[in-house]
Chain A
Amino acid sequence: MPDWKVEITRRLSGLRLSPTREAEIVEELGQHLDDRYEQSLQGGATTEAAYQATLIELTESDVLAQELRWVERPVRHEPVVPGAQRRLNMLGDLWQDLRYGLRMLVKNPGFTVVAVMALALGIGANSAIFSVVNTVLLRPLPYQDPDRLVMVWEDDTKGGYPRDTPAAANYIDWRDQNQVFEGMAAIADLSFNLTGNGEPERIDGRRVSAHLFPLLGVEPHLGRAFLPEDDQPGGNRVVIMSHGLWQRRFGSDMTIIGKPLTLNGESSTVVGVMPPHFQFPSREDELWVPIAFSSQEAANRGRHYLQVIARMKPGVTLQQAQAEMSTIATRLQQQYPDQNTDLGATVISLHEHVVGDIKPSLLVLLGAVGFVLLIACANVANLQLARAAVRQKEISIRVALGASRLRLIRQFLTESVLLALLGGGVGLLLSVWGVNLLKAFIPEKISQAAAITIDARVMGFTLLVSLLTGLIFGLAPATQTSNFNLNETLKEGGRDSAAGSRGNRIRGLLVIAEVAVSFILLIGAGLLINSFLRLHNVDPGFRLDNLLTIQVALPAQKYPDHARRSAFHTELVNRIEALPGVKSAAVTNWIPLIYQGDSIGFSIEGRPDPAPGQGRRPTVVTRVVSPHYFRTMGIQFVQGREFGEQDRVDSPAVAVISETMVRRFWPGEDPIGKRITSGSPDSRDPDDWLTIIGVVKDVRQFELTADPKPQMYLSYLQAGFFAPRHLVVSTDVEPLSLAATVRRTVWEVDKDQPVSNISTMEDVLSESLARQRFSMLLLGIFATVALVLAAVGIYGVMSYSVTQRTREFGIRMALGARGLDVLKLAIRQGAKLVLIGVAIGLAASFVLTRLMSSLLFGVTATDPLTFIGVSLLLAIVALMACFVPAHRATKVDPLLALRYE
């Protein structure tokens, strides 16, 4: 019988059927033809005729192929062997690589999940931190042409205030004399007691120059901005409110414009409502009134309390603005030597002003998460290497079939990038969660914190980082596995060449890198933790426990004079002290750690002031307190007495000073009884002089991190020019449990008096350390993640290496090596890598930690204790990671080991 197979196969050749399917069809059709042939023969045909008759069945050969093409789907060559086909179609190749890569990932779910999770953690952390950086540092401020906005400060470096708040007269001279600014505006603190329509409420606000809003380029949402005539002494009493206040207190009343508002007991007219999200200068500000300098205020160069913002003319650079302002400041120094000596002017960009505090923290954190990602990369690269070893056979076949090295590298990189993109996708999801977490940590002072979101830029960043990540961790395995000698692989009889010396070297390098990078992170975290502990150990000079603080600021309208204010405070303190659970109570103008102002210049009796042009009078931080302040706050007395009943408004004015003030001005002398004045040193009027009656220990008045400056306390009964605004209560019980009672007591004295910022002193301190805590917590988390990742990486590499050497260990033990010998051998290998890593990390840390020195407190960037501690910690963790697999090596059964493979 003729063989039809050749004929049929020829006709099917164009269809690219799978071999199995083709064989089936050939068999089935062949049988049919056999039957037909046999039938013809039975019908009496000659073999030749029967053959011809049968072949007719196939004559319409194109029909067979054509018809089958509809039915049978051509099968793609499985598996696609990249490199086997020398096509020049880049896109086609890429598509092929992607499909193949995806299949490989699906085939190894364990590997894929571990790698994707490691990458997702790394990339997610990066995206989360970047979203903060993006919002806080990169996003332009929400004002018109924000690049041209600057803050101008007085530069009183000699007095310890390189960025001091300008005095009104200086501001006015700057404004009138400069040629570089389009406009300049002044801002001063002002709080309001808002009464009428609802509960009395304390609201923060500012006095601002009329043209502040046009200068910022922000239009009110409703109504109008201030007019020049509003900004005159005795001008219109007008007020602009924030969108938030308008919604919260006035229910978004569209008819609010023109309505009266009772502020500090006086009626003002609402002229505008700012747009949503507008905040200036800080988030808390909700009311703005014209600054309207009085003539005395406008002439004053001694009181430094303004903030000054300016808009540079187009084309003017920061340097030009600085130069111009320095020139003007020098001129003012010569013009007013008694008040402006050594007083310069500093111009900084508004952006720098807004983000300056947090910028170093954020940059350090961004660097830190970058390092975490690098470690994750190293881990995944290690996984890839181990897997590549398993795939050695596949690679040899490809190379044997003619795959070029480049083609193999491309395939491996495609797989890596695919993996990284998966990691990036999951990471982006993680970062959404991370951002919410970050918002809880971020210091409230960072005004843009609420606006932190995952926007297009963050997504772009994530994509970029993912791609880069894929390239970084894919490159080592790709070059490694593609660069091998076919002959050698075949000679090794299927043993993977990546396990050879070259593979081990790359793995070793990765371990070294992981150890080094995590070392740097641990050092960074260690330094911050160390700083934070030191901060907590700083003696603030006052007690933190059982201390309640409440803001009770009296409106000037209702309490216009000192006598009425004193009466209120005396009454209030007496009532509070009578409450059960209260040990003592006092009032002060500012509790510590919340305000950095109210310094006054003074002269010492019998010592001449510096000659004009030879420096200025010394300054002292001044706080006004009631008699029990020191015992309430737990401020220790050194000598002399505290304020008492005898220190009344009509008795000689007295002062309690700090140790630093004594050291600075009366070293080795007894300061008690010495007299100082804030007025003229030539004054003969005894009322101008303050007599020192006592000395107390220093208090960290401004911030915990700053060394105490000279301080002076005055009695609230005598110093009428500083009105107390804070009540402090020392309690026997949990302080906040008294909050309601204390508030009620305030209202018993004056039912319209707003009460705000009820807090414990502990919380005040804690809030003042928010920035440090933020950096410390995050860097601590990152360092921990890095340590864990590095340990996992070391463990993985050591496990792999021990498995590879099972046979060797078996032989050694068969020849008489004891378990301990093998253990030593295995650990030595790991220990060497760890030590090299630590050494490199040590060197790198010495350089890198300098970048974060501005974040440190009480420790140097190369704090030996931190360096030693971290070295030990890392060494122990890393050696533990070595020990576990090494220990397994000692359990090798020589017989089994020799049979291994």
Chain B
Amino acid sequence: MSYIGSHIFDRELKKGSAELLILSLVEDQSRHGYDIGNLIEQRSRGVLRFNVASLYPLLYRLEKRGWIQGRWVEKAGQRRRRYYRLTPEGKKILAAQRSGWREFVEAVNRITGIEHA
């Protein structure tokens, strides 16, 4: 049970946090998928990595929920790219997820005693 449980926990944790990561990254400026993937990898110093197969379905899901909005943008001399930006509804969700995440992390820290380490 513990194997399966921990596996699911891991995946769900990643998925749940991934939403938060993406929303945070498109909060201030709109970005395209590759940019988002790169930023996650860079800022997590390689700990978190999404490949195409997992990143884009996530983007589409968030878009479907109306939290982010994708738009094809053409810039001079470049191929057109799809840029995602946060919607007003996404903003609310991001705020809620942020505080939720913070509480969660604090709670986990309190239990695991990381603070005292």
Contact = CB atoms under 8 A, between A and B. Distances in A.
Interface of A is mostly: helix
Contacts of A687: none
A67 B82 contact: no
A594 B81 CA distance: 95
Interface of B is mostly: helix
A33 B79 CA distance: 14
Given A61-B53, A63-B54, A71 B61 contact: yes
B51 A72 contact: no
A36 B32 CA distance: 13
Contacts of A506: none
B57 A68 contact: yes
A778 interface: no
Given A35-B34, A71-B60, A29 B54 contact: no
A64 B81 contact: no
B57 A32 contact: no
Interface stretch (A52-60, A521-529, A689-697, A852-860): A52-60
Contacts of A683: none
A25 interface: yes
A357 interface: no
B52 A64 contact: yes
B52 A29 contact: yes
B35 to A, nearest CB: 9
B58 interface: yes
B51 to A, nearest CB: 4
A31 interface: yes
A67 B81 contact: no
Interface in A1-47: 24-25, 28-29, 31-33, 35-36
Given A28-B82, A31-B79, A67 B54 contact: yes
Contacts of A67: 53-54, 57-58
B56 A25 contact: yes
Contact of A57 (B51, B60, B61): B51
B95 to A, nearest CB: 24
Given A28-B56, A31-B34, A71-B60, A56 B51 contact: yes
Interface range for B: 10 to 19
A64 B33 contact: no
A383 to B, nearest CB: 42
A58 B52 contact: yes
Contacts of A70: 57, 61
B113 to A, nearest CB: 36
Contacts of A35: 34
A33 B53 contact: no
A166 B43 CA distance: 113
A72 B64 CA distance: 9
B7 to A, nearest CB: 15
A61 B57 CA distance: 12
Interface in B80-116: 81-82
Q: Which 7 A-B pairs have the closest CB atoms?
A: A67-B57, A64-B53, A57-B52, A35-B34, A71-B60, A63-B53, A57-B51
Given A28-B82, A32-B52, A71-B64, 20 more contacts: A28-B56, A29-B52, A31-B32, A31-B33, A32-B34, A32-B55, A33-B52, A35-B34, A58-B53, A59-B53, A60-B51, A60-B53, A61-B53, A63-B53, A64-B52, A64-B54, A64-B57, A68-B57, A70-B61, A71-B60
20 contacts: A25-B56, A25-B60, A29-B52, A31-B32, A31-B34, A31-B79, A32-B34, A36-B52, A58-B52, A58-B53, A60-B53, A64-B53, A64-B54, A64-B57, A67-B53, A67-B54, A68-B60, A70-B61, A71-B60, A71-B64
Interface of B: 32-34, 37, 51-58, 60-61, 64, 79, 81-82
